[in-house]
A and B are shown apart, each in its own frame.
Chain A
Amino acid sequence: MSAAMTSQTLKVLVVVLALAATAIIVPNTNSFVILVATRALVFSILVMSVDILLGYTGLASLGQAAYLAVGAYVTAILATKYQFGLGFDFWVVVILGILVSAALAAVFGLLAIRASGVYFLMITLALGQCVWGLAYRWNSLTGGDNGINLRQRPKFGIDLANEVTFFYLVFGFFAVSLLLMYTLVRSPFGRSLAGIRERELRMKILGYNTWLHKYIAFIIAGGFGGLSGVLWAHTAGIVSPVNVELPTSVDALLMAVLGGSGTLVGGAIGAGIVFGLREWLSTHVTWWQYVLGGVYVLTILYLPTGLMGIPERIRQRRTRAGNGVKKLAPVTS
């Protein structure tokens, strides 16, 4: 037992060190790296929220971009139409973005949580498309296909137009989100979620209200999605239907799998790798998407536990104990 404890402490230590290294190294590099790192960190919050559902609850969502988009559109609409959220009231927008997205998740969850497995996949896809449809077509509110351009970043004592300052802000949000989500999955509530993932029927028999557990997890994930959206609006400077279309949701899901589902930080690693590859490769070669698609395909074929699963797999091979590879996430249909 104590060995397991120290192993956990060690893991936390590694993550903290990696975070510290990121915070120290990135601002001292060039603006390109800072930009990519900022984007990756913002998107990581969404990917980790996907992981709460996928890795800890066993629900694969194909519509998580909807919550990012709602947070982003709230930010963009308030900023451009009402000049709101560009000073200290930025913090109000943060809260508002989280609440609106969580509220949307609360509505959508009523429909989605009944389903499981592939059906959950499809219903979240449908719900995501509802939001996409509004973003794409509701011209007077969302600017339609062109989206909304944010002309400036908030200024409150500190000026977020400065890329390093903005990076630190995003980094702070990321670290806090990671900490909150880590606390969540380690809490009794998180343990129950894992129980539902492993065997929902058993949890039901034990007297757990599994529907409510999943519903709450869904709302929490939506709230974090909203937070990433608020930050994304100011990171990208533009909010458009691209942020809510299917490939964006798919990206989030694949990043979680690439890093290793059920690990939280795996999602951040996945996001870092994909954003790094995408931004870096796309400036150098035209065939960058082959690399990305290839990485996804190879991960799913040969590394179902993701990058975070590599040490475990090496250990397994050494001891030659396990011939069964741990499944990505159990899907029951």
Chain B
Amino acid sequence: MNLNFWLIQAFNGISYGALLFLVGSGLSLIFGVMRIVNLSHGSYFLLGGYVALTVIWTTGSWALALPVAALAIAAVGLVMERVFLRPLGYDPLRQVLLTVGFAFLFQQAALDIWTGNNFDINPPDALSKSIQVGGLFLPLYRVFMIATALAIGVVLWLVMEKTRMGAAVRATVDDAQMARGVGIDTSRISMLIFSLGAFLAALGGVIGGAFLGIYPGLDFEMLPLAFAVVIIGGMGSLGGAAIGALLVGLADNFGKALFPEVSYFTLYAPMALILAVKPTGLFGRE
């Protein structure tokens, strides 16, 4: 009984961490490459969920909603980076403020198009069942979340570590100026990473929409959580984002279950402490 509580909470925490990895990994890469804090990242999450809803309403296909929403929001990210962020040049503060201006615009657009109602994204029946492992009933959907995050994490890792493209990204994270010096097109890298981040966040929105719901204000609720992941894990580090997501997912779950009154405090206070001691995050490179 008592053991079951811990196991279930741990499982929930890990699956929530899987979702956070989708949101956080993109944010982390964007920071690593462009040195900007993308405050519209939560909006991508929310918009992804909304676009998926529209796809589901019109076609009835949840499986189709996943790629369509992610690609649509990736396109939004691409346009934002090319048309608005890039022309500002290297001016992080203005870029950050610009992303938050967009977050407000997206918020209003979402309100206009999808109203202020609270929606749920219903996954297909096949994923709504539970499976029994040992004495525990685990919702299949959460298993799916973990599997998805794992798959994406592995693919990202392979691309980053094994391809020329990935090497260029890592070089840009380490020293953008030097990377430009050896002929890496950092502007193109920024564009790709920014839309990849939007893609992953939107994917997270579609997947997370099943148990978080999709509602106005979710954007600015997810954003600080995504930041917690990035900061704990270290900015620009994929492995760090994975560990950060796991820690935040577990901390969030156990915090809410064990000491609800201070649960968010127990999440953000370590984050601030880590930042103060090691600004680049636990696993970030200097």
Contact = CB atoms under 8 A, between A and B. Distances in A.
A193 interface: no
A289 B98 contact: no
B268 interface: yes
Contact of B35 (A130, A136, A333): A333
Nearest to A333: B35
Interface stretch (A94-102, A107-115, A165-173, A175-183): A107-115
Interface residues of A, number: 51
Interface stretch (A198-206, A226-234, A291-299): A291-299
Contacts of B265: 130, 133-134, 137
B272 interface: yes
A254 B108 contact: no
A253 B99 CA distance: 13
A84 interface: no
B104 A292 contact: yes
Interface string A232-254: 00000000000001110010011
A138 interface: yes
Interface in B157-190: none
A275 B271 CA distance: 33
B5 interface: no
A212 interface: no
Interface in B30-79: 31, 35-37, 39
A2 interface: no
Given A114-B276, A122-B275, A129-B264, A250 B100 contact: yes
B212 interface: no
A137 B264 contact: yes
Given A304-B94, A328-B94, A138 B272 contact: no
A16 interface: no
Interface in B71-113: 84, 87-88, 91-94, 96-98, 100-102, 104-105, 107-109, 111-112
Nearest to B106: A293
A331 to B, nearest CB: 5
A300 interface: yes
Given A121-B96, A138-B261, A297-B102, 4 more contacts: A130-B272, A133-B268, A250-B39, A289-B108
14 contacts: A111-B273, A111-B276, A114-B279, A119-B275, A123-B275, A126-B227, A129-B224, A133-B264, A140-B261, A287-B108, A288-B108, A290-B105, A328-B97, A331-B92
